[in-house]
Structures are given as structure tokens and as C-alpha cells.
Amino acid sequence: KQEVTQIPAALSVPEGENLVLNCSFTDSAIYNLQWFRQDPGKGLTSLLLIQSSQREQTSGRLNASLDKSSGRSTLYIAASQPGDSATYLCAVRLDSGYALNFGKGTSLLVTP
């Protein structure tokens, strides 16, 4: 069973700081990895998807990297803003199926 772990569980930073969220997974036979954002009581918004053959993806102030062999991904957020406050979830799809396997998320608070 694919285990996905996200560290830290919670993070509080002042506005303007750059930050890194970490995701690790136990089964390296992945097809892709997605990062999502979830606001309290809401559904999930897809941020970035990295194919298993890729090393990184960028969208605006977000950059996600993937090291499949070591079972790690990072989400880098540059110049954080209060509007970035949310829970960030990492999800891995295995080679063998369509289900996404999620971590528990990192709860981010960016203070003005």
C-alpha cells in the first residue's frame, strides 16, 4: 500500500517568506504526482501535476520537484502571501491504478 507522508503538518510564516513543503512516498512505481490546495470546508484545487518522467513543474510562484528514486517531492512557494493560507495536499497515482493516494496535508498560515 502506498504511504504518503507530508512534513511539516503545520507551518506559520510571515508574509513575503519563501517556503518549502515536503512530501514522501513509499512506492516509487508512480505514474504521476499532484499537489492540491484545500481551503477550510472546501473541495480541492489542483495546483501542479508532475509526470513520473519529469523532475519539476512551475506555475507562477509555485514550483514542484519530483525525485522518484528517493520517493520525494517538494512544493516551493515563493514570496508567500496571506491568500496562500490553506492546506496543501500531495497525492500520488501508482502505475497500477487510477486512485490518488493522499498525504494528510500541510496546514499553512501566512501572516500579514
Partner 1 sequence: DTGVSQDPRHKITKRGQNVTFRCDPISEHNRLYWYRQTLGQGPEFLTYFQNEAQLEKSRLLSDRFSAERPKGSFSTLEIQRTEQGDSAMYLCASSSGQALRFVETQYFGPGTRLLVL
Question: Which residues contribute to the site for partner 1 (CB under 8 A)?
Answer: 4, 31-32, 34, 36, 41-46, 49, 51-53, 89, 91, 97-105
> What's the CA angle centered on 4, arms 50 and 47, to 5 degrees?
35
The whole-angstrom separation of Cα 88 and Cα 11 is 11
Q: How far is the CB of 107 from partner 1 (least distance, A)?
A: 9
Nearer to partner 1, 16 or 97 (CB): 97
Judged by beta carbon, residue 31 or residue 76, the one nearer partner 1 is 31
For residue 91, the minimal CB distance to partner 1 (Å) is: 7
Q: Which of 3, 45, 52, 37 is nearest to 23 (CA)?
A: 3
**Cβ contacts of 111 within 8 Å, gap of 6 or more:** 12, 13, 14, 15, 82
Element (H, E) at 83: none
Least distance (Å) between residue 15 CB and partner 1: 26
Q: Residue 112 CB, nearest distance to partner 1 (Å)?
A: 26
Nearer to partner 1, 80 or 106 (CB): 106
Q: Looking at beta carbons only, is 18 or 26 nearer to partner 1?
A: 26
